[in-house]
């Protein structure tokens, strides 16, 4: 079974990020790392291929600048190869442009399954997986917290607010997985060393037959009109127990819908 995992390389969340005041987007001229939310999809893919007994895990990613550091991390975990779509014209791409580019790259692989995170840790639109599925005319299951494959059928436990649904889905399909789906492995030293020599195919937009005017800033259908600092943290409410504190805490948690 061949699985493609869509992975994003993002600025390290441990370093305070900066916004570009002109474009109102995150500056990405620093070292990029693998988005942690994608490491779950990579691990899930490795386990599924392992269980199937054959096949391989391939990565698909896009970035304007040709950075591969994050991809190497996923390759070190065990993925076999990567396609990196790299083109200056990709800067400023919105979710739909991203989906178009990734879908075009995925088509070259013809996989049995496409895994993604539910959303990236820097953009948080959470719409790319479904857009990829639509563009590839494939079924899509979101928020997978458990994925099993049997032949040409995937069974997915799909996280909901109140529990989970069990969804069966024919393959190929696009499945987005949550952070709880599996525990990502640490790359082994051998994996890290081997990753240096694993193939990363770099493609530009013309190789995928995509008009640069339809992606990036040129093709953006969404615009960031305003950015503002997040409000300062306010002092919390102190609940003094006069016999009914537990009821007030329960009501508070109920309001937050965390119960």
Partner 1 sequence: MATDQALADELVSTIKDWVDRDVIPNVAEFELNDEFPQEMFEQMCDFGLFGSTIDEKYGGLGIDITTYARIVEELSRGFMSLAGILNTHKIGVTMIDRYGTEEQKEKFLPRMCDGSFRAAFSLSEPDAGSDTGSLRCKAEKDGDEWVINGTKMWVTNGTRASLVMLLARTPDDRITCFLVEKEPGENFEGITVSKKIDKLGYRGLETVEMSYVDHRVPSENVLGGEDGIGNGRRYALSALELGRINIAARAVGVAQAAFDSAMKYAQQRETFGRPIFEHQAVQFMLAEMATKLQASRLMTFDAARRADAGERVDMEAGMAKFFASEAAFEIAMSSMRIHGGNGYTTEFPVERYLRDTPLMIIGEGTSEIQKMVIARKLLERYPAE
Q: Which of 190, 221, 233, 257 binds partner 1 (CB under 8 A)?
A: 190
Query: Distances in Å between the alpha carbon of 151 and those of 53, 113, 157, 178, 208?
Result: 12, 11, 17, 23, 30
Using DSSP's 3-state secondary structure scheme, residue 169 falls into: strand
**Please, which of residues 33-92 interact with partner 1 by CB under 8 A?**
none
Which residue matches tokens 């879908």? Answer: 103
Considering only 188, 206, 213, 222, the residue that binds partner 1 (CB under 8 A) is 188
CA gap 53, 223 in Å, rounded: 46
Q: Is 26 in the site for partner 1 (CB under 8 A)?
A: no
Question: Does residue number 185 form part of the binding site for partner 1 (CB under 8 A)?
Answer: yes
Among 186, 213, 239, 247, binds partner 1 (CB under 8 A): 186
Token pair 């953009």 in the structure block, residue: 123
Least distance to partner 1 from the beta carbon of 184, Å?
Answer: 11
The site map against partner 1 for 193-212 (x = CB under 8 A) is: x--x----------------
Residues written for the chain: 259
CA 237 to mean position of chain CA atoms: 36
Using rule CB under 8 A, residue 239 touches partner 1:
no
The closest of 84, 127, 100, 108 to 214, measured between CA atoms, is: 100
Selected from 192, 200, 218, 220, the binder of partner 1 by CB under 8 A is 192
- Name the site residues for partner 1 (rule: CB under 8 A): 185-190, 192-193, 196
């Amino acid at each position: 079974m061949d699985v493609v995992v869509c992975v994003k390389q993002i600025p390290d969340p441990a370093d305070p990020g900066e916004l570009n005041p002109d474009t109102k987007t995150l500056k990405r001229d620093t070292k990029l790392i693998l988005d942690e939310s994608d490491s779950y999809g990579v691990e899930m893919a490795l386990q599924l291929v392992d269980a199937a007994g054959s096949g391989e895990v391939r990565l698909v990613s896009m970035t304007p600048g040709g950075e591969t550091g994050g991809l190497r991390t996923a390759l070190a975990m065990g993925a076999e190869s990567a396609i990196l779509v790299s083109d200056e014209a990709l800067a400023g791409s919105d979710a739909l442009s991203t989906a178009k580019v990734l879908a075009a790259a995925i088509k070259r692989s013809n996989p049995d399954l496409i895994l993604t995170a539910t959303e990236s840790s820097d953009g948080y639109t959470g719409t790319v997986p479904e857009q990829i599925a639509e563009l590839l005319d494939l079924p899509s299951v979101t928020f997978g917290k458990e994925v099993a494959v049997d032949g040409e059928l995937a069974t997915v436990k799909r996280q909901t607010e109140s529990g989970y649904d069990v969804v069966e889905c024919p393959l190929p399909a696009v499945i987005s997985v949550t952070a709880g789906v599996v525990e990502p492995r640490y790359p082994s030293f051998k994996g890290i060393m081997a990753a240096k020599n694993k193939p990363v195919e770099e493609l530009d937009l013309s190789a995928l037959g995509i008009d640069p005017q339809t992606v990036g800033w040129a093709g953006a259908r969404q615009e960031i009109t305003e950015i503002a600092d997040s409000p300062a943290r306010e002092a919390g409410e102190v609940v003094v127990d006069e016999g009914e504190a537990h009821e007030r805490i329960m009501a508070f948690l109920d309001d937050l819908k965390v119960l």
